[in-house]
Amino acid sequence: MNKVISAKEAVKLIKDGCTIMISGFAGVKKPEVLIDLMVKNNIKNLTVIANDAAIPGKGIGRLISHRCVKKLIASHIGLNPEAGRQMNAGELEVELIPQGTLAERIRCAGAGLGGFFTPTGIGTSVEEGKQKFIVEGKEYLLELPLKADVAIIKGSVVDTLGNVFYKGTTQNFSLVMAMAADLVIVEAEKIVKPGELKPEHVMTPSVFVDYIVGAECNGN
């Protein structure tokens, strides 16, 4: 099955008000083609789950600047002053989660787990509203899974069946997000035929990928 579609077709699958995961770290290795089209299509009221708010004018930063994001769930927003301004003005709801906890909550959703115990955040504002448990005399927070309606992730090399290889930092959050969303769209830097990607190089199997967009398509 060939899962390759145009970026314009793919972005139509992302609806106003949905919860969307976006892979990458800071301004690096974001699915920029899809993000650009989301801005152009004026998709609004999104809940975005990502590592961070990126930087102004790039990646998630573009979505924030164009007021596409209603709520951001991330580990930090420090590189994006506009995100901080909107948060302080009450225009953007921000839920900050320790980075390791964020990744594990997403992984739990993909693995079908009900959550996990962590000592991270005990004694800080992170613990507010969360259940605590004592395990062998030590206090832990119960952190619940994070899932999404859609995940848009960046892949380095993707075959037309949807098997994905991530080079270097392209792995950031892509591995866990590809398992934690109802619909997964991969923006590929390079698309190859089945068999060209060695089995031992497959990091996300095709079963988790619904559609593929070529990054070189520039929105076509």
Tell me what pLDDT residue 28 has: 77
Query: Is residue 130 in some structural domain?
Result: yes
Query: Is residue 218 in some structural domain?
Result: no
Name residues of the chain where pLDDT drops below 70: 215-220
Tell me what pLDDT residue 25 has: 87
Half-sphere exposure of 215 (CA within 13 A, CB side): 19
**For 44, phi and psi rounded to 5 degrees?**
-125, 170
Query: Is residue 33 in some structural domain?
Result: yes
**For 82, phi and psi rounded to 5 degrees?**
-65, -35
Instruction: Classify the C-alpha dihedral 42-46-49-52 as positive or negative.
Output: positive
Domain with 141, as residue range(s), is 16-155+168-189
**For 24, phi and psi rounded to 5 degrees?**
110, 175
Query: Is residue 143 in some structural domain?
Result: yes
Query: Is residue 121 in some structural domain?
Result: yes
| pTM (global) more than 0.95 | no
Query: Is residue 93 in some structural domain?
Result: yes
Q: For residue 26, what is the domain's CATH number?
A: 3.40.1080.10
d(CA 23, CA 29): 8
Residues 6+ apart with CB under 8 A from 26: 51, 52, 54, 55, 79
Query: Is residue 78 in some structural domain?
Result: yes
Query: Is residue 3 in some structural domain?
Result: no
What burial letters (b/e) apply to 182-206, b meaning 16+ CB within 10 Å?
Answer: ebbbbbbbbbeeeeebeeeebbbeb
Domain count, the chain: 1
